[in-house]
Structure formats: C-alpha cells, structure tokens
Amino acid sequence: MKAIKYILFFYLVVFFTVSAHAKKDKLRIAAILPLTGKYSDIGVRVMNTIQLTIFELDNLNIEIYPYDTNSSKGGTKDAYLKAREKNLNIFIGPITSESLEEIKNLKDFQNSFFFSFSNKETKIPSNVLNFGVNLSSEIKALDGFLKKRSDKIVYFAKENNFSKLTLEQLKSKVKIKKKYFYRDFNEIKLRSLQATNFNYRNKKHLDQIKRLKATGDEGDANYAKELEKHDTREGVNYRRVFIPNYNNELIASISFFDFYDVNYKTVQFITLNQWFNRNLLLEPSLENIIFPSINLNAFDKLNKKYKKVYGNNIENIEILAFDIVPLIASTWFNKKEDYLRIEDFQKSTFKGEIGKFKIEKNKVNHELQLYKIKKGKFIKVKKT
C-alpha cells in the first residue's frame, strides 16, 4: 500500500523535529517572481499566497527572500544571481519553464533546488520540481468520462504546441472525428462556422422553406412560417466537442458554436482545468461544460482565507503555494542536510490543502475531479 503523507501531519512532524534539532538553521527560501512589469499581477498574487502560508507556519523558523524578475529574461538572471550572492539555494519560482531556461546554465544552478509553477512534463532539469497542474493529470481525470461513450469527438483549438500535445494525449483515449485549429482570436468565428457546417445546414433549411411555399398548400405554408423563425433545423453529426481553450477564447469559441445552432442542448462540450474562473458562469452557452480541476471545497476555503487578507479572489496558480511551502518545510526540517534533492520527494503521495498529489520524475501529478457548470454554479460531476 502506497504511503500517504498529510500536510497537516507535516506540521506536527516539523514542530517536533525543530524541538529535537534546535541547532538546525532556519529555512531560507528565495522567491524569484515577476513582481513588476507585464506579469506582475500573477507574481504578486503568488507572493501574497507564500506570505499568507508562512504566517500560518509561524511556529517554524522560515524566512522568505523575494527577488523581482521584472517580467523579463534579464531580470530573471539578475534575481537568481542576487539570491545566490546571499547563499540561498532553495527557490520558489520562476513561474514558467521559459524563465528557467534563462538561468539553467548559470553558475551554481545545479546546486540549487527549484519549485516551479510550470506544468511542463518533459525535459525538466534534475533539480527542478514542476508543481503546475499538468496535462497528464487532466486527461487522466477525464479518462472514465471520455470512455463512457463510444461516439467520436470534434477537436477545436488554437494552433500551438500545447493544443497539439493535448490532441496526442486525447487520441490515446477516444477517437477524433475531425480537428479544427484557429491561428488567432479573430479566426475563431471562421473555424467555428466550418466546424458547425452552418452554411450547408442553413442552405438546406432555406431550400426546404422554399419548397414548402411553392406547394400552395396552406399547411405547408404555415410550416414554412414556423421554419423561418430558425436558421437551421437539422443538427450536426457529432455529439461531443473538446475545446482546450481558456478565458475569453473559450467563451468566444462556444458562443460561436451556439450562434451557429450547436449548443449544450445537443452537444457535450469538454475542456481543461479552468481554475473555477467565475467569468465562465456569466456565459449561458457554457452551461453543462465539463472540466477537470482541483477540489472545489478546498479552493473555496483557501479563497475565503486569501480574500479576507488581500481583498480579492484567488485566480489560478497562486493557490499552489498553499501546498508548496509546507512541502518544502516538512521535508527540509526532517533532513540533517541543509539542501534538498529530488530523491527527497520522489514516488510519495501527499494530501495537501488543495487535494492529493503524487511526485514522480520531477513533476507533480494532481488527483483531479470533474466539474460542470449548471445554472450559474460549479457542480461536481458524480462518478458512475
């Protein structure tokens, strides 16, 4: 039976460990984050969560040293080098794998340990643990739901490496009927028009109205008037659409499907983790959409805590810090050495504040659940 370690249990272990090893130095963590510049919003929110978590672990000897990357490549290098000048070798951040690329060849990089928010799953440096919600975790959560029906899926996505990777993983689970890719936001309308086969369906509809009117029959004429209230009558020849989009692109994609007479009443829309983005609840066409995510109750609980202190809601990846900081502390304070290795975490399953996760091959695999939007609320999908 695989061992399950609980974050709350971590706190007790850490407390007694510190008492037994009073000579252990304080835990010093550098946070290299975009606190100014283009990506400052996400960097500040991550830093807020780190500070909130440190406050709750006030019985432990932990210090956080923030370093601003200025949302730039050069700023990331400067932040890392300044942290190393202070002999700091445990890092929270950077946010993306691209930022890590900027520093991985710098001096002493291999002598440091990084907890990145990236969800990248391949080519991860040996001293980096990617904590983001990765694609494999999301597809795994959807596995049973996808296989429950045998009908093929239409795939609709932006043309980039991530959508192509998603398609490859999806193809291992279900059959793909057809693929549609758009290059930019403005092309969503054109591709959704093609995906819904609207022009053909609309022409067929108009031809039927014309034929009915030409018969001279009163009943046919009345039926034609009824048909004129609609653009189409015949549905599409598929019942599921997978759209791995986010925010406005997800809303726009499904809104255009709805505009072209393909909606949640006849088609099941499926997407990826949306971090319970409340803007999605405002769009009627997203009713019944299915997506994998972390535990909603945990999200709401931590969001309430965050909002009480900072006055606004959690948006997405900053919530991961609620588990990153205790994980670092529990592991570090139970080691004699003042450094961390990936072997300290591998193949262990943990139950954190946001749910269960397992660490394998330098990445965190989260145990996700399925949710849907129903009548303006996020509802957990019951397992069948």
Shared domain check, 115 and 14? yes
Indicate whether 266 and 313 sit together in one domain: no
Are 266 and 344 contained in the same domain? no
Half-sphere exposure of 339 (CA within 13 A, CB side): 10
φ and ψ at 103, to 5 degrees? -120, -5
Contact assessment for residue 193 and residue 256, using Cβ atoms and an 8 Å cutoff: yes
Closest of 247, 321, 334 to residue 29, by C-alpha: 321
Per the structure, the complete domain to which residue 169 belongs is given by 136-293+371-380
Which stretch of DSSP H or E encloses residue 219?
Answer: helix 218-227
Q: Are residues 307 and 331 in the same domain?
A: yes
CATH of the domain at 225: 3.40.50.2300
Nearest to 342 by CA among 317, 356, 320, 363: 363
Are 85 and 229 in the same domain?
no
| 279 in the same domain as 150 | yes
**Gap between the Cα atoms of 75 and 86, Å rounded:** 17
Q: In the chain, how many domains are there?
A: 2
pLDDT tens digits for the chain (384 residues)? 444 444 444 444 444 444 444 445 789 999 999 999 999 999 999 999 999 999 988 778 899 999 999 999 899 999 999 999 999 999 999 988 888 888 999 988 999 999 999 999 999 999 999 999 999 999 999 999 999 988 999 999 999 999 999 999 999 999 999 999 999 999 999 999 999 999 999 999 999 999 999 998 999 999 999 999 999 989 999 999 999 999 999 999 999 999 999 999 999 999 999 999 999 999 999 999 999 999 999 999 999 999 999 999 999 999 999 999 999 998 888 888 878 888 888 767 888 999 999 998 899 999 999 999 999 999 999 876
Residue 161 and residue 288 in one domain: yes
